[in-house]
Structure 1
């Protein structure tokens, strides 16, 4: 088996990551690893540094130091536009779809960075709502449909490491459940997912491991099997 496709292959390894916006020092020595096929969450209150961690991986911060290895390649010195070519897809909280284009045009825009990107038919099978709205402009989509479209665009590129930032924010429970089903399907396809999520009840049953963040640092790593034993810590840090 090719090492890249081994279940033990680390698709993401972050060591001693510091990130800055101007003079503000946001991340203070982040260490984390994500193996192929895992779904790992970054948990914490607002301002803990979760979203900045994703942006730092994509080199979308003012300055970063440390080591970030993506699919076996050190990226700390790479410009931001080259990082997606390593197979990383980033879905920011603001979604970033093209409002003036319809759904299908949005799906046809992304460049293919790896050969196993999903076809339009596969996308529409996974997101039936998008098929029904394929000729609707981005401005006419609901929040849930916009979120589905933002995720679908990444899947079109062939990215095998997905960085998802607050994908359930402000969405109706029925849409949140649909997104959970999509994440389960993506895991079964072997994709690797790092999920920043405020909705712990959404994230808990999906994830293999959780990294708990406070003040720009990781304070605890919790496996799915340890969740019950760590309830007091989770309540203190998350209020759940």
Structure 2
């Protein structure tokens, strides 16, 4: 018997059919290790198609490791990671992007010796529907202005925009974004927030690891709070105002 977490469920609402989004990413009892170090201790997270969720927590809580574990970029994993209905725990790392998953690491990972335009021509197509260059430049006008500049000449914010743009070129529909605002000027942070709003409106699913709660708070549908490699709280956007003081205490804001 199918459940809401397994597939799209249709329910009658006032004489019409309503669609409840399915879980596009479901993590169950995930443990992750670097060598003998046990980092994640039974993480449980579900993300519905088209949602933007955050992983919040202090440094060392396991947020970045969770993203790396999804991509099979840790030493060892146990538990279950289901992406688009497919179990991926035994899948090789280079196969996971073919499921439409794009990962933007904290280090950004652009080709510094190539210019912006060349960087945008290189990403492989992993799924249909990747954004065109025109669409990328419309979304990131800074990149259009700097399209002939090598990566070494870009500001931190421009490098971050380029890293995200490269992923959008691949056709990924699930974005794993790690600390995209760290160290950036407020005007760039605002621009990245506007981009995330547009991406979510287009139907993309986004998992955002973020230290800047003021940036993340108005964007997300749900917030997962991590501590010592576990999820300790889940707070919906509707609950945020009434639980903000509690959340600030958890995060040390």
| Pairwise TM-score range, normalised by the shorter structure | over 0.9
1:81 to 68, 91, 94: 94
Question: Is contact 1:7–1:35 with CA below 8 Å preserved after alignment?
Answer: no
2:138, 2:221 → 1: CA distance?
Answer: 26
Question: Is contact 1:102–1:136 with CA below 8 Å preserved after alignment?
Answer: yes
1:101, 1:71 → 2: CA distance?
Answer: 34
2:139 paired with 1:126? yes
- 1:87 CA drift (Å): 0.3
1:104 to 80, 102, 117: 117
Who is 1:36 aligned against? Answer: 49
CA separation of 1:92/1:7 partners in 2, compared to 1, >3 Å: closer, same or farther? farther
1:158, 1:230 → 2: CA distance?
Answer: 36
1:25, 1:80 → 2: CA distance?
Answer: 20
Q: What do the CA deviations read for 1:41-72 (whole angstroms, capped 9, x no partner)? A: 00000000000000000000011111000111
Who is 1:193 aligned against? Answer: 206
Q: Which runs of 5+ in 2 are unaligned?
A: 1-6, 10-18
What count of residue pairs does the alignment treat as equivalent? Answer: 238
Q: What do the CA deviations read for 1:204-239 (whole angstroms, capped 9, x no partner)? A: 000000000000000010000111221232122112
Who is 2:156 aligned against? Answer: 143
**Could you say what secondary structure the match of 1:144 adopts?**
helix
1:130, 1:232 → 2: CA distance?
Answer: 38
1:14 to 11, 21, 27: 27
2:188 paired with 1:175? yes
1:191, 1:20 → 2: CA distance?
Answer: 29
1:224 to 237, 244, 252: 237
Who is 1:49 aligned against? Answer: 62
Question: Is contact 1:4–1:71 with CA below 8 Å preserved after alignment?
Answer: no
Question: Is contact 1:19–1:25 with CA below 8 Å preserved after alignment?
Answer: yes
Question: Is contact 1:21–1:62 with CA below 8 Å preserved after alignment?
Answer: yes
- 1:122 CA drift (Å): 0.3
2:183, 2:74 → 1: CA distance?
Answer: 25
Who is 1:161 aligned against? Answer: 174
- TM norm structure 2: 0.92
**Could you say what secondary structure the match of 1:78 adopts?**
coil
The two structures, once aligned, show a CA RMSD in angstroms of 1.2
Who is 1:210 aligned against? Answer: 223
Q: If you compute each CA radius of gyration, which structure gives the higher value, 1 or 2?
A: 2
1:220, 1:184 → 2: CA distance?
Answer: 24
Question: Is contact 1:43–1:197 with CA below 8 Å preserved after alignment?
Answer: yes
2:103 to 63, 67, 90: 90
CA separation of 1:4/1:126 partners in 2, compared to 1, >3 Å: closer, same or farther? farther
